[in-house]
Amino acid sequence: MLIKEVILENFMSYEYARIPFKPGVNVICGPNGAGKSSILVGISVALGQSYTERSRKLSDLIRWGKDQARITLVLDNSRRKGGKRPVSRFNRDEIYLTRVLRRDGKYWFELENRAATKFEVQRLLSRLGIDPDNMLLIMHQNMVEQFAVLSPQEKLKMVEAAVGLEPYRKNVLAAQKKLSRILSQEESVNKLLESAEQTLSYWREQYDRYQRKKQLQMKKRFLEKELAWAKVNIKEAKVEDLKSRIHEIENEIKEINREADAANKKLSLIETKIEKLKEEWKRLLEERINLERERTKHELNLTFSNQSLEEWQSFVQTSRNEIQNYLTQIENIEHQTMKSANKTSELKEFTFQLAEIKRTYKNLENMLMQHLTMKSENFQKTIETAKEQSEKIIGQISELEGRID
């Protein structure tokens, strides 16, 4: 049974009804006016029929006082033998087909709660083997006489369509036509075979020659391919050689680049070191100039001290000579006085005065010698200090010259 259930809403005498169908024969009984025909009319309308014996328009089938009616058929789409469904695009056991009628004359189909066209509905029913226009499937009350007057051939066609044999009938008729056409073609084929046998030997010879030629051509192509592959192998060997050479050259270039980078780094370090050495050389040069100035200053002081010492020494020697001369003259005067004169009180006094003067000159000489000695010692110390400073400066200058070099 392809229809498992019928649901009527606001249709004819039913406000809402669910009529299930069981496998096998289903009989609906009831008195007149109970709604038996309403169920059949609802099924035919849901399947797409627009003819009913109850009304001229489908909108007249809507329940009185309602604006819309719905008829829903629950179709069986369970798996058959082989595990296939009648409609494979719906992967479910039940398919809901609905037709909606409105009072304003608008009607439409719904398939699985989605609006569908009449063509889609007819295609679905054909997959299920349902033809609503076949009177053996749906026969209304006034169709009995119409079915009785049909010819046996038309009745046979309806039966075949109802039980699913119509495709077989079409196949049989097509096979008969094809068989007659094949028999007529057989005679012409036999004639063609006779003529073909005559030319078969000729064409067999030509075919053998063609096969030989084809074998030679295949052999030629094979040898050409072998030659081409040999050339390719030679070229590939050359390419591999070139690749290895290129790889070696690239490695050499990388090594040269690494050496160049290292040289550039060393060069930058040397340039930096040169800049530092230049700055150090400038600083040492300035320091040497300052030391040369100090050396010149100390040499001038040394020269001046030597000159002063020599002048003092000459002055001391002159002073000592003069004092010695004065002392000698005083002694001479004293001896002459002692020889020529008598020892009187005046002479004693004069002698005493001479002795005092002599002693005074000797003290003066001693003081002068002490002062000159101290002065000479100071000059000597100054000269020695200047010499030490000069030697120290000369050593620093030599060290600077070594560092500058």
Decide if 169 is inside a domain.
no
User: Structurally, how many domains does the chain consist of?
Assistant: 2
Decide if 168 is inside a domain.
no
Residue with the larger pLDDT of the pair 238 and 135: 238
Return the minimum-mean-pLDDT range out of 157-166, 279-288, 384-393. 157-166
C-alpha–C-alpha distance, residues 151 and 389, integer Å: 156
Residue 247 predicted with pLDDT over 60:
yes
CATH number, domain of 125, equals: 3.40.50.300
Please state the pTM of the whole predicted model: 0.40
Return the minimum-mean-pLDDT range out of 78-82, 161-165, 362-366, 397-401. 161-165
Residue 206's pLDDT band, with cuts at 50, 70 and 90, is confident
Residue 163 predicted with pLDDT over 60:
no
- In this prediction, residue 168 carries a pLDDT of 67
Most confident of 137-146, 217-226, 274-283, 365-374: 217-226
Decide if 120 is inside a domain.
yes
Q: State percent of the chain over pLDDT 90.
A: 12
Residue 294 predicted with pLDDT over 90:
no
Calculate the average pLDDT of the chain: 78
Residue 272's pLDDT band, with cuts at 50, 70 and 90, is confident
Domain-terminating residue out of 106, 133, 160: 133
* Host domain of residue 353: 295-404
Long-range contacts formed by 50-58: CB under 8 A, 24+ apart? 52/140, 53/140, 53/141, 53/142, 54/12, 57/105, 58/101, 58/107
Domain-terminating residue out of 89, 107, 133: 133
Domain-terminating residue out of 133, 161, 186: 133
- In this prediction, residue 161 carries a pLDDT of 57
Cα(first)–Cα(last) distance of the chain, in Å? 121
